[in-house]
Amino acid sequence: MNKFPKQLIKNALLVNDGKIHEADILIRDGRIERIDKSISTDKNIVKIIDANGSYVFPGIIDSQVHFREPGLTHKGDIKSESMAAIAGGVTSYIEQPNTIPSATTIKELEKKYSRAALVSWANYSFNLGATNDNLEELKLASKENIAGIKIFMGSSTGNMLVDDQMAIERIFSEVDHQLIAHCEDESTIKKNLEKLTFLKGENGLKASDHPLIRNAEGCYLSSSRAIALAKKTGARFHVYHISTAIELDLFDAAIPLKEKKITSEACVHHLWFCDEDYLRLGNKIKWNPAVKTKLDRSALRKALLDGRIDVVSTDHAPHTFEEKMQDYYKAPAGGPLIQHSLSAMIDIAKLNNINITRIVQLMCHNQADLFRIKERGYLREGYHADIVIVDPSKPLTVNKKDLFSKCLWSPFENQTFTSRVTHTFINGELNYLNGKVIGLRSGHRLQFARK
């Protein structure tokens, strides 16, 4: 704990609830005690943090990450990747079930929670994974303690593909929880892969072929079918990492988020990169779903403004550099992004005339509202003091030596962003300061409202 009973952030430019305004924030016992234009207090019992006119955001919530523990810890683990998270202003995360063993039972899931309680720097939750035959286990998932149910409707790292149509329909019909899916049509992917392999040979495939194999048609077929099923059954359904322009028409911009049952996510890599970048970066930007065309990227950026995209996350998924540098066919999909996601999104906002308040909406407020996360995602009196200070006048060039992810590489290496995270508070504890992880680890298990 801090040696001072209270901490006071002064001279802050708060970005919260759709507004930007000057205010001070008083922190006590891990929570925000007071927000006011100017707060005076006894310096002997209060530690003063001068924000010096920097932006102060609610802690970023990343609802799609892969931290690789258990079973894949040579790539990353909860400790290393949560350190990368707080270095990027991410104070809470929801991790995915495709580890070894897969988190497809409550027992295995609770093992991950127990581990995170010992080593996670950021606040944490874990999705329970669906399979073709674990319906009864899914029904046991607590709405208060588990973020959601993850369904792989397209293959990704791990062997968790749910491809039995009857099993999928029963999950949508019978599981009363937040359902989440990775949507890509396996038959389309298989057909495209066979065609290109025939033309080029297995050793002739390159990263630039990835969006041809895992193409827009395959994404749309899977997403549209799943959404139709969700509408038919009345399920709450969230589609991870929308990557194509045509999928955007599946989502309603007119309905307020709190009234939606069908929601969507865009990921930083689909908003930043496009197919022209494969020539320069190759397998470093090989993701599932694939990074697609400049037109797709442009459409996704526009959808950030009109409500068809509800949240922005990273799909942070570290692999070793050696794994990624294999031939295309062998190289795994995924990459580390969490440490620079906020800086990247701030620059995307600048380039596309998006108000910074909208970035906070997508990365903080909407994440909390969509997943019903209690008392986080906003700067409000009484809420947990998950707070990020961002200096908009201090550029950041991504350098390998400054990375916290265990894999020690980034597709953003040598990229210069116009802003940087300087302070990250987790439950009132200053855990990141100007390039260093400090203090006592203070991540808590996320709690959720039932509705």
Preceding amide of 58 cis, omega within 30? no
- Alpha helix positions (H), 27-127: 78-87, 106-119
Q: Is the pTM of this model over 0.85?
A: yes
Q: Say what the pLDDT of residue 239 is.
A: 98
Q: Say what the pLDDT of residue 42 is.
A: 75
SS3 content of the chain, % helix, strand, coil (to 5): 35, 25, 40
- Angle, helices 106-119 vs 78-87, to 10°: value is 60
> 304: alpha, beta or left, given left = phi > 0 and alpha = psi -120 to 50?
alpha
Q: Say what the pLDDT of residue 45 is.
A: 77
DSSP labels for 47-65? Answer: EEEE-TT-EEEEPEEEEEE
- Alpha helix positions (H), 13-105: 78-87
Quote the Cα angle for 417-285-210, to 5°. Answer: 150
258 Cβ contact partners less than 8 Å away, ≥ 6 residues apart: 369
- Tokens 């987790």 appear where? 426
Preceding amide of 97 cis, omega within 30? no
Sheet holding 90-95, edge to edge: 60-65, 90-95, 123-126
Q: Say what the pLDDT of residue 435 is.
A: 98
Query: How is residue 279 annotated by DSSP?
Result: H
Q: Say what the pLDDT of residue 154 is.
A: 61
Tens-binned pLDDT, residue by residue, of the chain (451 aa): 456 779 999 999 999 999 999 999 999 999 999 999 999 887 777 899 999 999 999 999 999 999 999 999 999 999 999 999 999 999 999 999 999 999 999 999 999 999 999 999 999 999 999 999 999 999 999 999 999 999 987 655 555 788 888 999 999 999 999 999 999 999 999 999 999 999 999 899 999 999 999 999 999 999 999 999 999 999 999 999 999 999 999 999 889 999 999 999 999 999 999 999 999 999 999 999 999 999 999 999 999 999 999 999 999 999 999 999 999 999 999 999 999 999 999 999 999 999 999 999 999 999 999 999 999 999 999 999 999 999 999 999 999 999 999 999 999 999 999 999 999 999 999 999 999 999 999 999 999 997 6
Q: Say what the pLDDT of residue 1 is.
A: 45
> How far apart are the C-alpha atoms of 342 and 348, rounded to whole Å?
10
Name the burial class of residue 239, with classes exposed (0-12), middle (13-18) and buried (19+) by CB atoms within 10 angstroms of its CB. Answer: buried
Domains (range + CATH), the chain:
6-56+380-394+415-437 (2.30.40.10), 59-370 (3.20.20.140)
Please name every residue paired with 15 in a beta bridge, in sequence order, or none if there are none: 20
Tokens, residue 83: 């350190």
- Alpha helix positions (H), 294-363: 294-306, 321-324, 341-351, 356-360
